[in-house]
Amino acid sequence: MRPTARHLITALSSAMLLSGCVRPDPMVISQPAPQQRVAAAPESEPATPKVALLDEEPEEDKAEEIAFYDLAQAFGLKVSIDLVTGRRVLRDGTNTVVVMPSTKHILINHRRFPLEGMIRWKQGTLFLPAESSAFLAEWLERRPLPQVAHDPELFDGSEPGLNDPLRRARTQPARAPRVSKATSLPSAWRINSNRRWRYIVIHHSATDVGGAKSFHASHKKKWTNGLGYHFVIGNGSSTGDGQVEVGPRWQRQNKGIDGAHAGNKRYNKYGIGICLVGNFNKGGRPTPGQLVALRRLCRALMSSYGIPARNVLKHQEVRRGHTDCPGKHFPMAAFKRSL
Ligand SMILES: [Zn+2]
């Protein structure tokens, strides 16, 4: 029996419930994993509560696949089949997606997206690599950028220390043309990268304290290359408030080592992961020092690698339904306005 989209989403959710930045629902985490999901569950989740929860599925990719019809249904696409070529054409009125069995790419609105794996038949059902859903989400559900008008979360006057660049950004005349005054990366971190960085993905650590060193130790239990993020910005607990630490995956990026922060292969490969120490779901908020450092770092990275502001994303935007990282108190709208 073919699983329904709901089954699929449920299965993916449980398979990917590493969630990291977001503490999984305690009820879920306290339950033993269903037997059939054991293989996909993290096997070496750190047991101590003080370490950062992991953000990511293991680097050893599980070759997750999604049944074609479930994917189409999840995105509201109607399917037609070309009986001569065997290709499937999906449409939703404005978009067209072409899926050809036994190839390693899909066409979305005539644009070709190479996939990590093959589109293939299994037991009479056509399966696509799981990353296909990321492409579709990105291209078919592109959402508008946050509105500039009002962000009570940041500007309600109750927060100390918010007279920093973010507040100033709000009072600037509407969107002056961006003069490229971007700070550059410290030379030790400026890497003549052999990959095309396209995204910046922002995380919180979901811990009150910590820094690159402690997160590296906990991630090391699971991944050979340790710390999944490229950069960590301290909150004054283990490292300085606003102190930027660079991780080994950034330094070794030209050796083919990807990030392990997004829960999504595409964003791990082409997305720079920045983690702010803190839990911004439990009432905690980034410190002004962290926001200033984040802005500087983002602007430097955007400038160095040609990353547009629209590609600066919250983790939850690349991992919808699986995490609410970097937490509901992260002031994304205001932050993006400041870029
Ligand atoms: Zn995250």
In this structure, is residue 102 part of a structural domain? Answer: yes
pLDDT of residue 321: 84
In this structure, is residue 156 part of a structural domain? Answer: yes
Q: How far apart are CA 136 and CA 98, in angstroms?
A: 11
- Same domain for 325 and 255, yes or no, is yes
- Using the mean position of ligand 1's atoms as its centre, give its distance from the Cα of residue 329 in Å: 14
- Using the mean position of ligand 1's atoms as its centre, give its distance from the Cα of residue 226 in Å: 15
- Using the mean position of ligand 1's atoms as its centre, give its distance from the Cα of residue 54 in Å: 9
Closest CA to 22 of 59, 61, 56, 64: 56
DSSP secondary structure letters along 175-234 = T------PPPPPTTT----SS---EEEEEE-SBSS--HHHHHHHHHTT-TT---SSEEEE
Q: How far apart are CA 153 and CA 247, in angstroms?
A: 31
pLDDT digits (tens, 9 = 90+) for 144-161: 322 222 222 222 222 223
Q: How far apart are CA 9 and CA 281, in angstroms?
A: 24
pLDDT of residue 137: 64
Indicate the pairing of strand 271-276 with strand 231-235: parallel
DSSP secondary structure letters along 255-294 = GTPPP--SSSHHHHHHEEEEEESB-TTTT----HHHHHHH
The CATH number for 218's domain is 3.40.80.10
Closest CA to 164 of 286, 19, 278, 27: 286
- Using the mean position of ligand 1's atoms as its centre, give its distance from the Cα of residue 339 in Å: 20
In this structure, is residue 82 part of a structural domain? Answer: yes
In this structure, is residue 15 part of a structural domain? Answer: no
- Using the mean position of ligand 1's atoms as its centre, give its distance from the Cα of residue 83 in Å: 43
- Using the mean position of ligand 1's atoms as its centre, give its distance from the Cα of residue 59 in Å: 15
DSSP secondary structure letters along 41-96 = S-SS----TTSPPP-S--SS----EEEHHHHHHHTT-EEEE-TTT--EEEE-SS-E
- Using the mean position of ligand 1's atoms as its centre, give its distance from the Cα of residue 93 in Å: 34
CA 99 to chain centre: 25
- Same domain for 185 and 226, yes or no, is yes
Q: How far apart are CA 26 and CA 200, in angstroms?
A: 29
In this structure, is residue 146 part of a structural domain? Answer: no
Count how many domains the chain has: 2
- Using the mean position of ligand 1's atoms as its centre, give its distance from the Cα of residue 21 in Å: 4
Strand partners, 312: 200
- Same domain for 184 and 307, yes or no, is yes
Q: In what order do the strands lie in the sheet with 111-114?
A: 78-81, 88-91, 96-99, 105-108, 111-114
- Using the mean position of ligand 1's atoms as its centre, give its distance from the Cα of residue 127 in Å: 28
Its domain, for residue 257, covers 152-338
pLDDT of residue 269: 95
- Using the mean position of ligand 1's atoms as its centre, give its distance from the Cα of residue 320 in Å: 11
Q: What is the largest CA-CA distance in the chain?
A: 66
| Positions of the chain with pLDDT lower than 50, given as ranges | 1, 3-6, 8-63, 142-182
pLDDT of residue 23: 37
Q: Is the peptide bond before 129 cis (omega within 30 degrees of 0)?
A: no
- Same domain for 122 and 241, yes or no, is no
- Same domain for 193 and 118, yes or no, is no
Asked if residue 193 lies in contact with residue 255, where contact means CB atoms within 8 angstroms, the answer is no
In this structure, is residue 259 part of a structural domain? Answer: yes
Q: Which residues, 6+ apart, have CB-to-CB distance to 310 below 8 Å?
A: 145
- Using the mean position of ligand 1's atoms as its centre, give its distance from the Cα of residue 314 in Å: 8
pLDDT of residue 312: 97
- Using the mean position of ligand 1's atoms as its centre, give its distance from the Cα of residue 309 in Å: 19
- Using the mean position of ligand 1's atoms as its centre, give its distance from the Cα of residue 180 in Å: 29
- Same domain for 238 and 298, yes or no, is yes
Number of Cβ within a 10 Å radius of residue 160: 7
In this structure, is residue 58 part of a structural domain? Answer: no
In this structure, is residue 7 part of a structural domain? Answer: no
- Using the mean position of ligand 1's atoms as its centre, give its distance from the Cα of residue 232 in Å: 12
- The backbone torsions φ and ψ at residue 82, rounded to the nearest 5 degrees and listed phi first, read -90, 110
- Same domain for 116 and 234, yes or no, is no
CA 165 to chain centre: 25
- Same domain for 175 and 111, yes or no, is no
- Using the mean position of ligand 1's atoms as its centre, give its distance from the Cα of residue 225 in Å: 18
